[in-house]
Chain A
Amino acid sequence: MKRSIPTVIGLAAAASLLAAGCGGGSSSDSDSASGPVTLTLAGWSLSTTPEFKTLADGFHATHPDVTVEVKEYDAANYDTQITADLAAGSAPDIYAQKTLKNLYTYATGGQLMDVSDVAKKLSNSVGGLDAYQVDGKTYAIPYRQDSWVLFYNKELFDKAKVAYPDGSWTWDDYVTAAKQLTDGLKAAGSKAVGTYQHVWQSTVQGFALAQTPGAKLTSGDFSYLKPYYERSLDLQNAGAQPSLGTATTNKLTYQAQFGKQQAAMLPMGTWYIATLLAQRESGDADKFDWGIAPAPQFDKSTTGTSNTPVTFGDPTGFGINTAIKKSKISAAKEFLAYAAGPEGAKALAGIGITPADTAAVTDTFFALDGMPTDELSKFAFAKHDTKPENPVSKYTAGLQNILNDAHTAILSGSKSIDSALGEAQNRAKNEVLNQ
């Protein structure tokens, strides 16, 4: 009896190893060069993110022999789940790049097809293309390019008797206005505060990286963040915006803070336009007069409607899985070109989503019910120099984690700006940039 135990364990382990080994790569290729093609596409939260379905249907309408099937993934764990499916060889033919953080891993890991030929054919009004390059090759094609702007509530501005943003604001003007709004609203008997900067590190660091001359994430020198954090702390201390602690412990959402008129301003990405419109209809947001203004600027050199305001935002794009069947590649590339091109842009604008080619669709976009009609809103939507929040590199994911620690340490008041940034620089040098 004693002797047989190890034997049986060994046998069972071997059998299960064999079973695990077989599970992975059993994708049989049945090449069908002619006839209808079915492409699979990875997306997330299909009920609240209608863009995948819209693009799939729109593409099918113009290419009747190609059907695009959307496979749903969990929004919060999208990259983890896609990674697992890619490693198992069961990922869809085309998968969206939700953020730029993981592009480097996918591209260098041989999971993304080189689509430089698609990129070459696109018009140069498609924003965000450069962001998908690794070593001179393009690995994904953007179909939407959100940019951060300043949302504001005109009714709360009127109530507090503060002038609307006019496109000339620097961050100091923004801070002054937020304080005036808070005081004015308090005097008018309202509980709303001046502004709401959500808990994400992007609300501070994204702007600082995009706007500060010479700032570079991979330099490991984070001193460019200091003035931006000084202003955020100033706003928190003045009560002009909820502190990070209040926002995290009470799980505040930016949709409710702005949509339910708890804050008069909200720096946020243009994706929020579609959400706000939908929530006005569903009653999750109040119906009030609102507008968008260009993001406040680093200094006066980029303010005013005759200049191009600098802001940030990561594009969202589609990449092709290298495991795709050969017969489907040309259809997949056509789909990428369609999604980035003017037809895809119009389809996306029709549902309130900011396409990569914004210039082509501003009129369609502002014709939607509930949109503001003032000129500044149109300017803010159509014209900006949008820099990536996560410039693609081997170090991006690691550096952003370190900077997120610095973000919570500073805004919770646990550490001074200097010591938190100093520590972040040390960590970047010793834990990420030396790898």
Chain B
Amino acid sequence: MTTLPGVRRRRSRLVWRNTVVGWTFILPNFAGFAALTLVPVVVLFYVAFTNWNVFGVADWTGLANFRRMIHDASFRTALQNTVYYTVLHIPLTLAASLGLALLLNRKLRGLGFFRTAAFFPYITSIVALTYVWNLLFSPEYGPINGFLRAIGIAHPPGWTTSADWSMPAVIIVGTWREMGYYMLLYLAGLQTIPAELYEAARVDGANAWQRFRSVTLPGLRPTTFLVAVLLTIGSFKVFDVILLLTNGGPGQSTLVLSQFIYQKGFVENQFGYASAVSIVLFAICFLVTAIQFLVNKRRNA
């Protein structure tokens, strides 16, 4: 192949111009991302190895923060609680949002209303939501326990005021709040499954359950994967619901990692230690997501 030098120069100029145009489009977003996210994250990895208290010099302490974490019972509690929340919250939300999407994917009077109703919790202010849920959960005067007593449960749970029930209460609110959002993703996924597949299945004599198992679920696999990844990251990072609903209590029963980080950093001014815990949280999220990607890849292959 023989190319004239002039042509090559023109082509490389074209490539350069395209690159510049492309980056110009990205630049405003990237500048903001760099200033507000990228730089702080890079700094975080440095601070995690120091004993910085916001003011003055950060002394390099090597792995001291990580060694401290191993022996820190509160960190272990926070980690256990985070796993507890995640393990229950992910399947519950997956099932609830898929169920809602299936229900609202048919021709139905007032469909728009029901879809909006399911999506509403997600866009309502979290502060208002938790305020109302706290009233509902009130052990003595709340309507939930009033209902439970009415159907014959003499000692209904204390919900957010009991160490055993506070986490389930938080999970219920978390699931209820987010299922509308993931329902939307599932609804979009359901539209992509060709109607012919269902017809073919019906012709072959498949009943509703078999059609669901063999057509709907495989057709939704990309959506399910996306939802699972988003849910995993969201669950590990859960913060606002818990902070507002129970503030980690009673005792440490709903203390999760992000709240632990907040406490150590912004309440006790131990930014070095808080950064180290953040790195661990990041590593956990990264690892679990990587595993999900691997599993998904193997299944698709």
Q: Using a CB–CB distance below 8 Å, which chain A residues touch chain B?
A: 1, 4, 8, 12-13, 15-17, 19-20, 80, 83, 86-87, 102, 105-106, 109-111, 243-246, 248-251, 397-398, 401, 405-406, 408-409, 411-415, 420, 426-427, 430-431, 435
A12 near B19: Cβ-Cβ < 8 Å: no
Q: Which of A109, A245, A249, A397 has the most CB of B within 10 A?
A: A249
- Name the B residues within 8 Å of A414 (CB-CB): 162-164, 250-251, 253
In angstroms, Cα B275 to Cα A205, docked, is: 31
What are 8 A-B pairs with beta-carbon distances under 8 A? A106-B55, A243-B139, A243-B161, A249-B139, A405-B248, A409-B250, A412-B250, A414-B164
B267 near A245: Cβ-Cβ < 8 Å: no
- Name the A residues within 8 Å of B16 (CB-CB): 4
A83 near B269: Cβ-Cβ < 8 Å: yes
Given contacts A8-B23, A412-B161, A415-B163, contact A109 B251 (CB under 8 A): no
How many chain-B residues does the 8 Å CB contact rule pick out? Answer: 49
- Name the A residues within 8 Å of B137 (CB-CB): 249
Digitize B63-86: 1 where CB-to-A-CB distance is under 8 Å, 0 elsewhere. 000001001111000000000000
How many contacting A-B pairs (Cβ < 8 A)? 132
Residue of B27, B159, B163 touching A409 (CB-CB under 8 A): B163
Contact of B263 with A by CB under 8 A: yes
Q: Using a CB–CB distance below 8 Å, which chain B residues touch chain A?
A: 15-16, 18-19, 23, 27, 30-31, 34-35, 38-39, 53-56, 68, 71-74, 131, 134-135, 137-142, 158-164, 248-253, 255, 263, 266-269
B268 near A245: Cβ-Cβ < 8 Å: no
Q: Measured between C-beta atoms, what is the minimum distance from B76 to chain A in Å?
A: 11
- Name the B residues within 8 Å of A411 (CB-CB): 250
In angstroms, Cα B78 to Cα A401, docked, is: 14
In angstroms, Cα B250 to Cα A413, docked, is: 9
Q: Measured between C-beta atoms, what is the minimum distance from A218 to chain B in Å?
A: 15
Q: Measured between C-beta atoms, what is the minimum distance from B26 to chain A in Å?
A: 9
In the complex, what residue of chain B is closest to A21 when comparing beta carbons?
B39
A397 near B267: Cβ-Cβ < 8 Å: yes
In the complex, what residue of chain A is closest to B40 when comparing beta carbons?
A20
B269 near A102: Cβ-Cβ < 8 Å: yes
A1 near B18: Cβ-Cβ < 8 Å: yes
In angstroms, Cα B210 to Cα A223, docked, is: 64
- Name the B residues within 8 Å of A106 (CB-CB): 55
In the complex, what residue of chain A is closest to B12 when comparing beta carbons?
A1
A13 near B34: Cβ-Cβ < 8 Å: yes
Residue of B18, B140, B161 touching A248 (CB-CB under 8 A): B161
Residue of A111, A249, A409 touching B138 (CB-CB under 8 A): A249
B162 near A12: Cβ-Cβ < 8 Å: no
- Name the A residues within 8 Å of B54 (CB-CB): 83, 86-87, 105, 109
Given contacts A110-B56, A249-B142, A412-B162, contact A13 B253 (CB under 8 A): no
A250 near B138: Cβ-Cβ < 8 Å: yes
- Name the B residues within 8 Å of A243 (CB-CB): 139-140, 161
In angstroms, Cα B11 to Cα A342, docked, is: 82
Q: Measured between C-beta atoms, what is the minimum distance from B32 to chain A in Å?
A: 9
9 nearest CB pairs, A to B = A109-B55, A245-B161, A409-B251, A414-B163, A412-B250, A16-B34, A408-B249, A249-B138, A408-B250
